[in-house]
Amino acid sequence: MFKKILIANRGEIAVRVIRACHEMGIAAVAVYSDVDRASLHVRKADEAYPIGAAAASESYLNIQKILDVAARSRADAIHPGYGFLSENARFARACADAGVKFIGPTAAAMEAMGSKTKARQAMERAGVPLVPGTSRGLESFEQAQEVAARIGYPVMLKAAAGGGGKGMRLVHAPEDLRSALEGARSEAERSFGDGEVYIEKAIINPRHIEMQVLADEHGNTIYLGERECSLQRRHQKVVEEAPSPIVDADMRRRMGEVAVRVAQTAGYTNAGTVEFLVDEKKNFYFLEMNTRLQVEHPVTELVTGFDLVHLQIRIATGERLPFTQEQVMIRGHAIECRIYAEDPDNNYFPSPGKITLLLAPSGPGIRRDSGMYEGWTVPMDYDPLLAKLIGYGTDRQQAISRLTRALNEYFVGGIKTNISLFRRILNDPDFCAAKIDTGFLDRLLKKKQAEAAADPRAIEVAAIAAGIFAVLGSAAAGVGEGGVANSSADSEPHASNWKAAARKEAMR
């Protein structure tokens, strides 16, 4: 077993991996950029090393700096988390060359899955169901025209090196094809330095369902059930759940077997996710494979009872999978909300800043994976994911009601978060009836929110509270403006006698 693991990441996922290390008696090494010295992952780690400026290219994406820290700290292994270097084959190879174990698949497996066209070709050979289209880059506009006519409009143009919706174009009619192809090519060239674009039949408002797989280094590969990830905004997932409300045992087995075949074709090891598009008739098509731990892995952990990070670490040490496919049981239902620092009233604009008040939910069926704390200033330099709130119940309805209850307990003051969006989603009749697809969230956001008149009783409560806060003065102030953390009466010589008296009363 490893004695020390370096976590090449930040935020909630770094904290998540540090916790797993400590549970397994392994020392955890954090790395941090200049703006992350006060971040939670540094506080939780056993050792912490600065790795440079805020810009990710200077720190969390800098392979050499991270390997230098691995050498200095004598770490046995590196866990990359998600994002940053997690799917970088060059990094995986550099780790192997430096004699430090990369907790994830091999560089070769990543490369096999990294290019979408190469992955498509391999999957075609393995007999994996694919969305009709080309498995090679388009050579000309004429070829695009011919293929589009054959598979039928609407079609989707996609960058071979793509991700996150970049280099993607939906084309409804032949006359739009030429400009869409040019647009997709130039965007792919700009974003990924690779202008290769291929074409697929567009499935309108599909469901996005993915299958978790685990493979050890002795040829055993299993699947841990699916996650429904159809709730997306700008191709970013917002709510995920397991199991999918439309997947029954038979469909799960068929999808799982395809996912295992995909992983084996790529020579895959460690944890990975095979993504599928699912149409209205429940036909599923291979989309791509994510060669890392996913943000939404906790929902799978809750319904299977397995700890994916523990298993990743055990697999990386060379252990065999400690259970068989037959021992994997799906029990209950889990739903995850991604809490972002963004302003729902201002088109979800990012909202970094100081967290002046944090009240966190707990209680039955609630798991919270968080990277924030009260008094911390959310930096503007990275992805605005603050925390994940996961609700678990014996069935979907109980998971929803527990999550709704927990969201009402959750309060993040000082910055804007999307917590109110989740109340809307969980309260939506279509969501509750599991009528969801990748167009769901856009439709919900377009719906004018019924401006409920404020509860007159709540207004009365607010007015009275405002007065009481005013009477209590600075004694009632937290870590935000106009308040000093841990302030005491003695430390404020300027406070008036009236305030001092009020404070004494308040503290009684």
Catalytically active residues, by annotation: 292
Residues numbered 177-216 forming contacts with another protein, rule: CB under 8 A: none
Q: Among residues 114 and 379, whose Cβ is nearest to another protein? A: 379
| Rounded least distance, CB 43 to another protein, Å | 21
How many amino acids of this chain bind another protein (CB under 8 A)?
A: 56
Q: Would you call 471 helix, strand, or coil by DSSP?
A: helix
DSSP one-letter code for 384: -
Q: In what order do the strands lie in the sheet with 236-242?
A: 284-290, 270-278, 207-215, 221-233, 236-242, 333-340, 385-393, 366-370
Residue 455 found at the interface with another protein (CB under 8 A): yes
Residue 411 found at the interface with another protein (CB under 8 A): yes
Give whole-number Cα distances, 225 to 193, 303, 351, 363, 436, in Å: 35, 9, 35, 26, 19
Residue 384 found at the interface with another protein (CB under 8 A): yes
Which structure tokens are listed for 109?
Answer: 């497996």
d(CA 250, CA 152): 30
Crossing angle between the packed helical segments 297-304 and 308-316, to the nearest 10 degrees: 100
Compute the CA torsion angle 339, 293, 24, 63 (nearest 10 deg): -100
Q: Among residues 249 and 458, whose Cβ is nearest to another protein? A: 458
Among 96, 204, 467, 496, which residue sits at the site for another protein (rule: CB under 8 A)?
467
Q: Among residues 249 and 454, whose Cβ is nearest to another protein? A: 454
Residue 423 found at the interface with another protein (CB under 8 A): yes
Which region among 95-103, 105-113, 223-231, 353-361 touches another protein (by CB under 8 A)?
A: 353-361
| Rounded least distance, CB 352 to another protein, Å | 6
| Rounded least distance, CB 171 to another protein, Å | 24
Crossing angle between the packed helical segments 89-97 and 107-114, to the nearest 10 degrees: 170
Among 71, 149, 173, 470, which residue sits at the site for another protein (rule: CB under 8 A)?
470
Residue 162 found at the interface with another protein (CB under 8 A): no
Residue 359 found at the interface with another protein (CB under 8 A): yes
x/- track of binding to another protein for residues 290-329 (CB under 8 A): ----------------------------------------
Are 229 and 210 in contact, with CB atoms under 8 Å apart? yes
Residue 458 found at the interface with another protein (CB under 8 A): yes
| Rounded least distance, CB 388 to another protein, Å | 17
| Rounded least distance, CB 475 to another protein, Å | 7
Among 108, 254, 349, 364, which residue sits at the site for another protein (rule: CB under 8 A)?
349
Residue 347 found at the interface with another protein (CB under 8 A): yes
Residue 353 found at the interface with another protein (CB under 8 A): yes
Residue 492 found at the interface with another protein (CB under 8 A): no
- Tell me what percent of the chain is helix, strand and coil, each rounded to the nearest 5: 40, 25, 40
Cα–Cα–Cα angle for 227, 361, 238, rounded to 5 degrees: 30
What lies within 8 Å, CB to CB, of 497 at 6+ separation is none
Closest C-alpha to 262, from 130, 126, 132, 133 = 126
Closest C-alpha to 376, from 10, 4, 61, 80 = 10
d(CA 75, CA 35): 24
Q: Among residues 290 and 417, whose Cβ is nearest to another protein? A: 417
Host H or E run for residue 205: none
Residue 462 found at the interface with another protein (CB under 8 A): yes
Among 24, 61, 330, 477, which residue sits at the site for another protein (rule: CB under 8 A)?
477
| Rounded least distance, CB 411 to another protein, Å | 5
d(CA 406, CA 335): 12
Question: Which residues of this protein are in contact with another protein, per CB under 8 A?
Answer: 341-342, 346-353, 356-357, 359, 380-384, 407-408, 411, 413-414, 420, 423, 454-455, 457-472, 475-483, 505-508
